[in-house]
Amino acid sequence: MSDDDSVLLHTEGRAGYLTLNRPRALNALNHAMVRRIDEALTVWEHDPAVATVVIGGAGTRGLCAGGDIRSIHDDARAGGGEASRAFWRDEYRLNARIARYAKPTVALMDGIVMGGGVGVSAHGDVRVVTDRSRIAMPETGIGFVPDVGGTYLLSRAPGEVGTHLALTGDAVGAADALLCGLADHFLPSERLPEFGAALAGSELPDALRRFAAPAPGGELAAHRGWIDACYAAGTVEEIVDRLERAGEQGAKEAAATLLSRSPTALKVTLAALRRARALGTLEEVLDQEYCVSCTALGSPDLVEGVRAQIIDKDRNPRWSPSRLQDVPAAEVDRHFRPLGAAELGLAQSRPTAL
């Protein structure tokens, strides 16, 4: 597949349609795709015929399963990291650009939407989920930290549900995505193609009134009691302790999940979320995430986590260190040190074309 085929572009009536087109890879993003999306946004921004931009994914499995983690693994293992840093620089700039885009963007968050898929959808103006949606930021399971503005979104979810999702990496369905502020509207999946096509000839609010429906019940709202109480703790160790003592099956399962994740990634993620709450804009949070990602690139846990989950698939990562209490505070703080001339710098300038 050529780079041009990895993102399909066409316009019809009032709409520009952007389709991620790597269905065999669950539409995982690579650098060429990021550049092509950005180029399309530039063209359509200045095209008076295009009133709405629609972002979707090819195939039936999902919008996008994330970034091309295998390439990042290979880059990190080789010890250079230049390709990954360049990819993140452009990807995060694209995330910010989508959030500030001059025309309404509609994200069709059907099926699997994870990691980088959240970055190209959940910062948009209208985020549509379906009965098939499974949305997650699963980075701690591969020794990484939520990025693409994920810590911005999850730090602003009600109570501590965002902390729960960021640390466990659990996926949520439509109703819980709406609860967390990751989505705006629910559509039955069978009506999604008709809704997308309607945007070519209808005003966006009119199309939403015609197709949007009440979402089926979710799960998180019923667990807010123990989630808010346990995840309000100041350290990951205390969160795990509270979960284990909460007397709830869901809390016990969450504790077991946390103990399977990278201890370093968990501690950096909690710090990133708490810092993100105090930052005012998406751009500031993306700047912070870039620092964290570039530092994590040199961590043994990222290479090991991708090996265990994606490459060898033995699901048995050997984290270093392997225990929460063995992760020094200095190691967590190191992820937030300024990068100097290598900073992303989005907070100093509004995002434009790459």
Active-site residues, by number, are 67, 116, 139, 147
Tell me the pairing of strands 7-12 and 112-114. unpaired
Measured CA to CA, the distance from residue 119 to residue 332 in angstroms comes to 24
DSSP codes, 266-313: HHHHHHHHHHHHH--SHHHHHHHHHHHHHHHTT-HHHHHHHIIIIIS-
CB neighbourhood size of 320 (10 A):
15
Contacts of 131 (CB under 8 A, 6+ apart): 173, 174, 188, 189, 216
Task: Answer for the pair 331, 264: CB distance below 8 angstroms, yes or no.
Answer: yes
| 3-class DSSP assignment, residue 103 | coil
Measured CA to CA, the distance from residue 89 to residue 160 in angstroms comes to 29
| 3-class DSSP assignment, residue 322 | coil
Helix axes 236-245, 224-231, angle to 10 degrees: 140
Task: Answer for the pair 18, 40: CB distance below 8 angstroms, yes or no.
Answer: yes
Contacts of 186 (CB under 8 A, 6+ apart): 128, 129, 130, 174, 175, 178, 212, 213, 214, 215
Q: Residue holding tokens 């880059």?
A: 75
Measured CA to CA, the distance from residue 218 to residue 174 in angstroms comes to 7
The token duo for 293 is 């990602």
Measured CA to CA, the distance from residue 348 to residue 290 in angstroms comes to 14
Category of 79 on φ-ψ map: left (φ > 0), alpha (ψ -120 to 50) or beta: left
Task: Answer for the pair 115, 65: CB distance below 8 angstroms, yes or no.
Answer: yes
